[in-house]
């Protein structure tokens, strides 16, 4: 029995907004950032209305409450990805900071000249630039696992690259352009066989698929709350506890220390060691509420719902003529990036906007992938639990208008 998703739409107040007279928002850009259900906003409001205080060091009631709310949120995040313990979860600003944290701490300590880092050609800039910075700083080397024309990783090439004994393999669990879902468990097992550490960019997978990090067994997993019904300003890094424990600290300041003297400092326990300064407390509370919301629906159900819309959208786009969708035809997430020959994505997106339809146009922070596919930019429609096949129908109608204007 499948769940009726239409009822969830009303949980998101913004979806009843008219962006132009008579044109209600049809939001097809959840890959960039999702909308927030009222229940998440209420959780943050309640925090500010009743419990707001700085955490960890406060002896008074509201500070103890705030501390408990913050640490409960950490426990929720841990359970959501099946981490063994809340101690394995570091709160960051977003996926980008999570990956940089690993590059700055684990990377600077363990990578040296000529060490190899393997990435894939479908990475987001956030999982490319931090490593390129280490190329500049420490002369490490990067190689890219190729993407085949149908958007799938070239696993044979991967196996060959592993023979060069990379120290780290870092890749997205789901591409934010192609919708490709990568074989994370297999890739992790193969990487471990040559002694490499594995970092997974879960920015698109944790919000959209059930993820069991212990089953995958990767060392690190990075993701952002704002892409999973949570607030901006907070993200998370999962790390295996022993690794986190050995890593040098990241930023220096309050809370990450055990003791400071004029002569030096010693670091606090994991995860506090990596959370310098006052953290995003209200945002952690919102993150926790978002996880409760997603869990109440069920990640299996959400993935299935999105898959259905994506496959329907893929078929409608291909039937409509003059449109080429990139990426795989099955086993894909709810992301459809496409090219309309002769019409620039900016123009497509702008004309769709006049119909209330929000899609992204550009390289979606994956310039190298676009270079590889020979496209400077694409138009991208993406789906979440609040979307429906009717949204796809509206998109198709909007695209017909685009074609007409440029005909």
Ligand X SMILES: Cc1ncc(COP(=O)(O)O)c(C=O)c1O
Closer to its own copies by CB, 38 or 320: give it. Answer: 38
Cα–Cα distance measured from residue 147 to residue 163, given in angstroms and rounded to the nearest whole number: 19
Binding of its own copies at residue 346 (CB under 8 A)? yes
Least separation in angstroms between residue 376's CB and other proteins is 4
Closer to ligand X by CB, 134 or 343: give it. Answer: 134
Strands 23-24 and 357-358, bridge-based pairing: unpaired
Site mask for ligand X (CB under 6 A), range 364-393, x = bound: -x----------------------------
Other CB atoms within a 10 A radius of the CB of residue 232 amount to 16
Closer to its own copies by CB, 34 or 388: give it. Answer: 34
Q: 3-state secondary structure string, the chain? A: CCCCHHHHHHHCHHHHCEEECCEECEECECCCCCCCCHHHHHHHHHHHHHHCCCCCCCCCHHHHHHHHHHHHHHHHHHHHCCCCCHHHEEEECCHHHHHHHHHHHHHHHHCCCCCEEEEECCCCHHHCHHHHHHHHHHCCEEEEECECCCCCECHHHHHHHHCCCCCEEEEECECCCCCEECCHHHHHHHHHHCCCEEEEECCCCCCCCCCCHHHHCCCEEEEEHHHCCCCCCCEEEEECHHHHHHCCCCCCCCCCEEEECCCCEEECCCCHHHCCCCCCHHHHHHHHHHHHHHHHHCHHHHHHHHHHHHHHHHHHHHHCCCEEEECCCCCECCEEEEEECCECHHHHHHHHHCCCEECEEECCCCHHHHHHHCCCCEEEEECCCCCCHHHHHHHHHHHHHHHHHHC
Smallest CA-to-CA distance from 205 within 80, 329, 73, 391 is with 80
Given ligand X, other proteins, its own copies, none, residue 344, with its beta carbon under 5 to 8 Å by kind, binds other proteins
Closer to ligand X by CB, 93 or 167: give it. Answer: 93
Site mask for its own copies (CB under 8 A), range 205-244, x = bound: -------------------x-x----xxxx----------
CA 310 remoteness from chain centre: 18
Given ligand X, its own copies, other proteins, none, residue 246, with its beta carbon under 5 to 8 Å by kind, binds none
Cα–Cα distance measured from residue 406 to residue 367, given in angstroms and rounded to the nearest whole number: 26
Selected catalytic residue, list 257, 365, 375, 396: 365
Binding of ligand X at residue 268 (CB under 6 A)? no
Binding of its own copies at residue 72 (CB under 8 A)? no
Binding of ligand X at residue 176 (CB under 6 A)? yes
Given ligand X, its own copies, other proteins, none, residue 394, with its beta carbon under 5 to 8 Å by kind, binds none
Site mask for ligand X (CB under 6 A), range 269-308, x = bound: --------xx------------------------------
Given ligand X, other proteins, its own copies, none, residue 406, with its beta carbon under 5 to 8 Å by kind, binds other proteins
Task: Examine the residue annotation and report whether 229 is marked as an active-site residue of this protein.
Answer: no
Which residues in 251-310 contact other proteins (CB under 8 A)? 257-259, 268
Which residues in 106-135 contact its own copies (CB under 8 A)? 121, 124-126, 128-133, 135
Smallest CA-to-CA distance from 123 within 146, 140, 103, 148 is with 146
Given ligand X, its own copies, other proteins, none, residue 201, with its beta carbon under 5 to 8 Å by kind, binds ligand X
Q: Which of 148, 362, 393, 396 binds other proteins (CB under 8 A)?
A: 362
Binding of ligand X at residue 337 (CB under 6 A)? no
DSSP label of 272: G
Closer to other proteins by CB, 251 or 371: give it. Answer: 371
Cα–Cα distance measured from residue 18 to residue 35, given in angstroms and rounded to the nearest whole number: 15
Given other proteins, its own copies, ligand X, none, residue 130, with its beta carbon under 5 to 8 Å by kind, binds its own copies
Binding of other proteins at residue 404 (CB under 8 A)? no
Binding of its own copies at residue 93 (CB under 8 A)? yes
Binding of ligand X at residue 182 (CB under 6 A)? no
SS3 180: strand
Binding of ligand X at residue 254 (CB under 6 A)? yes
Closer to its own copies by CB, 111 or 234: give it. Answer: 234
Closer to ligand X by CB, 172 or 377: give it. Answer: 172
Binding of its own copies at residue 184 (CB under 8 A)? no
User: Which residues belong to the active site?
Assistant: 365
Binding site for ligand X (CB under 6 A): 31-32, 94-96, 124, 126-127, 172, 176, 201, 203-204, 224, 235, 254, 277-278, 365
């Amino acid at each position: 029995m499948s769940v009726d998703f239409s009822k969830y739409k009303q949980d998101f107040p913004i979806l009843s907004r008219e962006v132009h007279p008579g044109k209600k928002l049809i939001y097809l850009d959840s890959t960039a950032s999702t909308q927030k259900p009222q229940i998440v906003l209420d959780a943050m409001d309640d925090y500010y209305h009743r419990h707001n205080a700085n955490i960890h060091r406060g002896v008074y009631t509201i500070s103890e409450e705030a501390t408990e709310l913050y640490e409960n949120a950490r426990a929720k995040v841990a359970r959501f990805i099946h981490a063994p313990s809340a101690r394995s979860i570091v709160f960051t600003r977003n996926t980008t900071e999570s990956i940089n944290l690993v590059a700055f701490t684990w990377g600077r300590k363990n990578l040296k000249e000529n060490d190899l880092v393997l990435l894939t050609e479908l990475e987001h800039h956030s999982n490319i630039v931090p490593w390129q910075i280490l190329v500049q700083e420490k002369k490490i080397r990067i190689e890219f696992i190729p993407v085949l024309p149908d958007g799938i990783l070239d696993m044979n090439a991967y196996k060959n690259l592993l023979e060069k004994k990379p120290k780290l393999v870092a890749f997205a669990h789901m591409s934010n352009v192609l919708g490709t879902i990568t074989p994370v468990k297999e890739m992790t097992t193969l990487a471990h066989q040559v002694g490499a550490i594995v970092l997974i960019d879960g920015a698109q997978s944790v919000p959209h698929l059930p993820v069991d990090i212990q089953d995958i067994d990767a060392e690190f997993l990075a993701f952002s709350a704002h892409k999973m019904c949570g607030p901006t300003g907070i993200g998370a890094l999962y790390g295996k506890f022993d690794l986190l424990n050995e890593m040098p600290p990241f930023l220096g300041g309050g809370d990450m220390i055990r003791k400071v003297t004029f002569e030096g400092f010693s670091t606090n326990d994991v995860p506090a060691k990596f959370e310098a300064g006052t953290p995003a407390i209200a945002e952690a509370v919102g993150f926790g509420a978002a996880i409760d919301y997603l869990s109440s629906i069920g990640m299996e159900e959400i993935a299935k719902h999105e898959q259905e819309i994506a496959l329907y959208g893929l078929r409608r786009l291909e039937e409509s003529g003059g449109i080429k969708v990139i990426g795989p035809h099955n086993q894909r997430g709810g992301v459809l990036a496409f090219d309309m020959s002769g019409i620039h994505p900016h123009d497509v997106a702008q004309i769709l906007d006049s119909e209330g339809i929000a899609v992204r146009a550009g390289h979606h922070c994956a310039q190298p992938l676009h270079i590889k596919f020979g496209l400077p930019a694409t138009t991208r429609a993406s789906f979440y639990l609040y979307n429906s096949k009717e949204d796809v129908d509206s998109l198709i109608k909007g695209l017909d208008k685009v074609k007409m204007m440029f005909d």
